[in-house]
Amino acid sequence: MNKQQHNRQNRNLALRDFFETLGREFPEWRYDVLIKRTAEAFHLSPQTVERIIKDGYNKNSPPKEQA
Return the pLDDT at 60: 59
pLDDT digits (tens, 9 = 90+) for 23-37: 999 999 999 999 999
Q: How many CA atoms lie within 13 A of 48 on its CB side?
A: 13
**Low pLDDT (below 50) residues in the chain:** 63, 66-67
How far are the Cα atoms of 14, 19, 25, 53 from residue 3, in angstroms, in the given order? 16, 24, 33, 22
Domain limits, the chain: 3-59
Return the pLDDT at 59: 66
Cα–Cα–Cα angle for 6, 59, 2, nearest 5°?
A: 15
From its phi and psi, is residue 34 left (phi > 0), alpha (psi between -120 and 50) or beta?
A: alpha
